[in-house]
């Protein structure tokens, strides 16, 4: 016999799904679902968008030179009906890209690299530093970068013993590299101040 635990909130918890996203207004808000919880984000600060664009540009340029994969900005990644997110930038090998993309242009699984640029506010930071980290870790993302344009730093999480763990924090004078991206090297000054 199973024992049930009664909480102070007798209401069943609402769990959002990807199907629910079709019912939401088509506006400038970004809607994501993580573990059934809906996250709504407004259009971000221009510096946030510059940082996303600079990261995308560097990865796309490297990918074109090497032919090893694809960088995508603002792509929909559907891990499950209750985990439907839009990372700021992703990178994946050609084989991964081909196997995960669907007819609607969304991806049905983990990219090798996911990047989020922090937006202001404690709820946004919780989403990127805790909730998305947990999601990406549990779904097989190999590397996760959290870029903070205000502090001009990037936290690099790498898969270690099946879990994404913080490996290093890079500052403005450092160079970003990755074992996923042979010979990729980019100064953080290009990411945060590059035109």
Domains defined along the chain, listed by start: 46-193 (3.90.1570.10)
Would you state the pLDDT for residue 3? 40
Residue 43 pLDDT level (bands cut at 50, 70, 90): low
Contact 70, 92 (CB under 8 A): yes
- Write down the pTM of the prediction: 0.83
Would you state the pLDDT for residue 7? 38
Would you state the pLDDT for residue 102? 92
Would you state the pLDDT for residue 1? 38
φ/ψ of 120, rounded to 5, equals -65, 150
Whether the pLDDT of residue 4 is over 60: the answer is no
Would you state the pLDDT for residue 5? 38
Q: What is the percent of the chain with per-residue pLDDT over 70, rounded to a whole number?
A: 91
Would you state the pLDDT for residue 30? 78
* Arithmetic mean of pLDDT over the chain: 87
């Amino acid at each position: 016999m199973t024992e049930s635990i009664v909480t102070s909130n007798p209401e069943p918890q609402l769990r959002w799904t990807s199907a629910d996203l079709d019912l939401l207004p088509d506006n400038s808000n970004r809607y994501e679902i993580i573990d059934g919880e809906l996250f709504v984000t407004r259009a971000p600060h221009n510096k946030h968008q510059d940082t996303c664009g600079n990261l995308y540009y560097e990865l796309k340029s490297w990918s074109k030179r090497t032919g090893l994969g694809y960088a995508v900005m603002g792509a929909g990644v559907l891990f499950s009906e209750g985990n439907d997110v839009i990372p700021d930038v992703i990178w994946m090998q050609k084989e991964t890209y081909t196997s995960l993309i669907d007819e609607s242009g969304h991806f049905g699984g983990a990219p090798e690299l996911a990047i989020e640029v922090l937006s202001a506010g404690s709820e946004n930071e919780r989403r990127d530093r805790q909730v998305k980290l947990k999601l990406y870790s549990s779904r097989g993302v190999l590397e996760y970068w959290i870029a903070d344009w205000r502090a001009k730093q990037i936290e690099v999480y790498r898969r270690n013993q099946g879990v994404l763990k913080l490996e290093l924090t890079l500052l403005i004078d450092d160079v970003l590299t990755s074992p996923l991206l042979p010979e990729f090297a980019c100064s953080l000054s290009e990411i945060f101040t590059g035109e």
